[in-house]
């Protein structure tokens, strides 16, 4: 067993999980082993949903592996990357004993999953500097080693801060935590970023895993398809902890169609529009009275500080624009997070926040 698997909960290392009807290697042309219906539902025109799906639909797994530049067995498909976060915490953290590191203000699911598992939560806040709100990698490494964390969640690009973590920093952290902790790089917004993916580090650093999703740039949030990418043995462990049939057939078919060559070409076009609009909005909002600071962003959103954030939130709402109120988040008592919309939608954001237009 590799040193990496020593990070898995001892009681789960040889856990076999549920043996579903689809996971047994049997042959036949009359399948009467899973209590499925012999006839299709009339709503299921193609009859694709009569049977339980393959736990990891091979065509989708192969396509995702292709898109992310890894091997199919380095990747596990789940119900969004949210499920991947949950699987990692459950498989590695002994309740009441092990810990995770998070970097607030950050995406909330890491802490939700840790609390559900009874794992300790170690917080290493982002540091607000000239370049934006950035992860303090030295402090993260020290906290993880000093307080015995099993998992370090890095969000890059960071939601909601917008900053990305340079790969050489992730390499150094993974090196420092080798044999001690897994470094999880959540790249939910990776398509919108300038830099390369942390998947390029996997061959050299077994204790790095990467999360990707079809929910953001690929415009398929309702399909609930996300992946965890990492060491093949670790992926096999995570799969044994997963629900028996995690990928519904209609979702797998939609995802596969959404990753066709023409669909991917359109995704790249949408991403280019978002990146252009992100710069336009950054500049426009930065010039408005009442805006304290707009953080540069590598994602499809901007984090904005206001003199009077409540007033800005209400001005947007009365223009019919709903944004994310960040005021309850640490360090963000004056901030809103605004998703980059279509050019017309972004014009409405600018108009609603422009006090001169409101006065007119």
Ligand X SMILES: *Cc1c(COP(=O)(O)O)cnc(C)c1O
Footprint on this chain of ligand X (rule: CB under 6 A): 80-82, 107, 155, 159, 186, 188, 213, 215-216, 221, 226
Taking the complex as a whole, the smallest distance from the CB of residue 82 to ligand X amounts, in Å, to 3
Q: Is the CB of 119 or the CB of 155 nearer to ligand X?
A: 155
Taking the complex as a whole, the smallest distance from the CB of residue 99 to ligand X amounts, in Å, to 20
Q: Is the CB of 156 or the CB of 352 nearer to ligand X?
A: 156
Taking the complex as a whole, the smallest distance from the CB of residue 347 to ligand X amounts, in Å, to 25
Taking the complex as a whole, the smallest distance from the CB of residue 301 to ligand X amounts, in Å, to 9
DSSP line for 243-308: -SS-S-HHHHHHHHHHTSHHHHHHHHHHHHHHHHHHHHHHHHHHTSTTEEEE---SSSEEEEEESS
DSSP line for 137-160: HHHHHHHHHHTTEEEEEEESSPTT
Taking the complex as a whole, the smallest distance from the CB of residue 147 to ligand X amounts, in Å, to 23
> Which residues lie below 8 Å from residue 326, measured CB to CB, with a gap of 6+?
105, 160, 303, 332, 335, 336, 337
Q: Is the CB of 163 or the CB of 215 nearer to ligand X?
A: 215
Name the strands in the sheet holding 335-339, side by side, starting at the edge strand that comes first in the sequence: 291-294, 301-306, 335-339, 324-325
Alpha helices in 132-231 (DSSP H): 137-146, 167-176
Residue 164 and residue 133: Cα distance in Å, rounded? Answer: 10
Q: Is the CB of 77 or the CB of 206 nearer to ligand X?
A: 77
Q: Is the CB of 162 or the CB of 284 nearer to ligand X?
A: 162
């Amino acid at each position: 067993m590799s040193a990496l698997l020593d990070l898995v909960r001892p009681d789960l290392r040889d856990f076999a999980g549920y043996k579903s009807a689809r996971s047994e290697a049997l042959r036949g042309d009359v399948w009467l082993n899973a209590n499925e219906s012999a006839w299709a539902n009339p709503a299921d025109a193609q009859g694709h949903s009569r049977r339980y799906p393959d736990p990891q639909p091979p065509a989708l797994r192969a396509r995702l592996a292709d898109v992310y530049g890894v091997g199919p067995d380095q990747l596990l498909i789940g119900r969004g990357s949210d499920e991947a976060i949950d699987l990692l915490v459950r498989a590695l953290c002994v309740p009441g004993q092990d810990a995770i590191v998070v970097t607030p203000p950050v995406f909330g699911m890491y802490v939700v999953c840790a609390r559900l598992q009874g794992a300790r939560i170690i917080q290493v806040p982002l540091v607000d500097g000239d370049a934006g709100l950035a992860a303090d990698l030295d402090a993260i490494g020290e906290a993880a080693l000093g307080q015995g964390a099993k998992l370090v969640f890095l969000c890059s690009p960071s939601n909601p801060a917008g900053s990305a973590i340079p790969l050489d920093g992730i390499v150094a952290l993974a090196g420092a935590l080798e044999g001690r902790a897994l470094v999880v790089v959540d790249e939910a917004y990776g398509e919108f970023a300038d830099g390369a993916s942390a998947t390029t580090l996997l061959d050299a650093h077994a204790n790095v895993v990467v999360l990707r999703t079809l929910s953001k740039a690929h415009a398929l949030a309702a399909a609930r398809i996300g992946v965890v990418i990492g060491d093949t043995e670790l992926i096999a462990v995570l799969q044994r902890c997963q629900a028996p049939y995690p990928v519904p057939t209609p979702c797998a078919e939609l995802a596969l169609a959404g990753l066709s060559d023409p669909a991917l070409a359109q995704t790249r076009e949408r991403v280019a529009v978002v990146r252009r609009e992100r710069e336009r909005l950054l500049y426009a909002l930065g010039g408005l009275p009442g805006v304290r600071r707009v953080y540069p962003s590598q994602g499809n959103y901007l984090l904005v500080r206001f003199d009077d954030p409540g007033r800005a939130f209400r001005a947007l709402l009365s223009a019919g624009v709903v944004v994310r109120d960040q005021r309850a988040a640490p360090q963000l008592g004056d901030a809103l997070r605004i998703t980059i919309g279509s050019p017309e939608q972004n014009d409405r954001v600018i108009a609603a926040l422009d006090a001169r237009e409101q006065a007119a």
